[in-house]
Structures are given as C-alpha cells and as structure tokens.
Amino acid sequence: MHELLRRYGVTLSAVIICLVGFWLLCLVVLPNITLLQFSFRPYLPVDQLGGPDDHYTLKNYATFLSGDPAFYILGIPISIHLKIFLLTVLFSSMVTVVALVVSYPLAFYLAKVIKPANAPTVFLMLLIPLWVSEILRSFAWFIVLAYQGPLNAMLSVVGIGPIRWISGFNGVIIGLVYTYVLFMLFPIYNAITSLDTNQIEAAQDLGAPLWRTHWRVVIPHAKPGIASGCVMVFMLSAGSIIVPSILASPGSRWFTQIIQQWMFEGQDWNTGSAYAFLLLVLCTVFVSLMMRLLNVRLVDIAK
C-alpha cells in the first residue's frame, strides 16, 4: 500500500483501489455467491418459486452422481456426467503438460539465447494468431484436421495417413494447446528473463551438463512462472467451450458442454449452477496443488 501511494499519489491510488474493488466484488464475488445460492435451490416452475418446495437441497449435486453408470472403478459406479468431468480433468492436464513441454524451451531460447534485437520480431510472429478470434481459429483447425483436409493431404505425399484427427479428444487437445500455449509461454519467459545469466555460465564452467543446469538453476528460478502458466492453461482449458464444441467428436464431450446444456437447452439454471460450481472447486483445487507441488506462494504466481 505504501509503495502504491508513493508511486501514484493518494488520488490515483484511491481510483485504482476502487476499480479493483469493483472488479472483485461486482464481477467475481457476487456472481459466484449467486451461483452457489442457485446451486442449492431446486429447479421449479415460476409459479412455485417461494413456495413450500422452494428450499435448500443437495438434489442438484446428487444429479451429478446419479444416472446409469458409464463404467465402474473398483466396483464403484461412475455416472456419465462424473465420467465426463474426470475426462475433462484428465485431458486438461494433458493440455497443460504439452503446453509446458512446448513453452519451456521456447521461453528459454527467447530469454537467454536469441539476440535481444530479434526478440520483438519473434514475439510479433507469436502474437499474430491472437489477432484472430478463437472461433475462427477453431474453425481453421477443423479444416486443417479434417479427414480430407490439407494436413492429411500433406501426409499422404510421404505415404502416411489419412488419419482421423478429429476422433476422440485428439482435435480438442491440439486446438487447446494451440489456443492457450502463449499463456504458458509468457509467464515462464518473464521468470527466466529475471535470472542472472552469470549463474548459468557459472554452472557450465563448473562442468554441469545442460540438463543439470536447467534442473538445478533455471527451473527453480522459473517455478513461479511455471506455476502461473500451468494454472492459467489448465483453468482456461477446463473452462473452454468453443474449442470442444467445434473440434470434439460426437463421443467426446467436455464438462462445459454439459453445463451449457443444463442452462441454455434444459433451462435448468439450478443444476447448471451446481455443475459450474463443481468446476470452480476443481480449478481452486488445481491452483492449491500447483502451489504445493512447486512450493510457491500465491503472491509469487500473481507477479
């Protein structure tokens, strides 16, 4: 607070605090409280609202676990919606891992290898796809990954394929990695940029191989950026609706599609709120696990 007042003065600091408070209260806290309240209310016709049947209940959450079992784990029946929820968690985690594997070498190259004069050009090339809306990018990937699309045409030249890319969750993983990989790249790049190059050179002078230099020097310093990138990519992937709707096959559903069905097709906002709150809890748990796994604080992720 003292640093904020010193840098911006009393008036501008008050404006900043009020805007942040408005954002947190009106656009984050109150909507989620409303979501939570709706999730414990039954879905009733309008003329029954406020009547004897309008009371707090766990029925909406029970719907998540009820229904015909899709399969069994150790004899425990897993409902279709729970199955979709678990698959969303699994494949969102896969997207996060793939994005990390792709982003870390590129972030290190941009931060410590490439000439600083060439970095703006590379960043411009990376940012150009963001100028196009996510819907258009998803449709572009649908065309590229189509069975008779340009990708299979190129592979057929070298005797590979054709491959059904839009089968299962393959297309969704490709589309989500492409869409959100920069949200992993930039935090890691910012973290590695602050690392003193002399530490890397000292490790090399002491005979450390490349992998050990990264494991003992670069990665510990970049942990806040890695945690921030993993949190953002996982949350954006788990909450995505456009990419799964366009690139998923008929048999591969995303949990956000189930929420959309409850709210907009079934007009059951109460059950949809319960499902949405479960997704919010999932993202909160993931943030906590990443903080514990990488031994970073929330303030480190926010930097």
List the domains of the chain with CATH numbers. Answer: 69-302 (1.10.3720.10)
What predicted TM-score, i.e. pTM, was given to this entire model? 0.83
Q: What is the mean pLDDT of residues 74-100?
A: 86
Could you tell me if 94 and 177 are in contact, meaning their C-beta atoms sit under 8 angstroms apart?
no
The pLDDT value given to residue 20: 84
- What integer pLDDT is reported at residue 277 of this predicted model? 87
Tally the C-alpha atoms within 13 A of residue 78's C-alpha that lie toward its C-beta: 12
**pLDDT one-digit tens code per residue, 197-217:** 888 888 888 888 888 888 888
pLDDT tens, position by position, 4-47: 666 767 777 788 888 888 888 888 888 888 888 888 888 777 66
Higher-confidence residue of 71 and 253: namely 253
Percent of the chain with pLDDT strictly greater than 90? 6
Long-range contacts of the stretch 143-149 (C-beta < 8 A, 24+):
145/171, 145/174, 145/247
What confidence category does residue 2 fall into, taking pLDDT thresholds of 50, 70 and 90? low
55: three-class secondary structure by DSSP: coil
For residue 128, the model assigns a pLDDT of: 84
Longest dimension (CA), the chain: 78
Amino acid, single-letter form, for residue 158: V
Residue type, 245: S
Question: Per-residue confidence at 251, pLDDT binned at 50, 70, 90?
Answer: confident
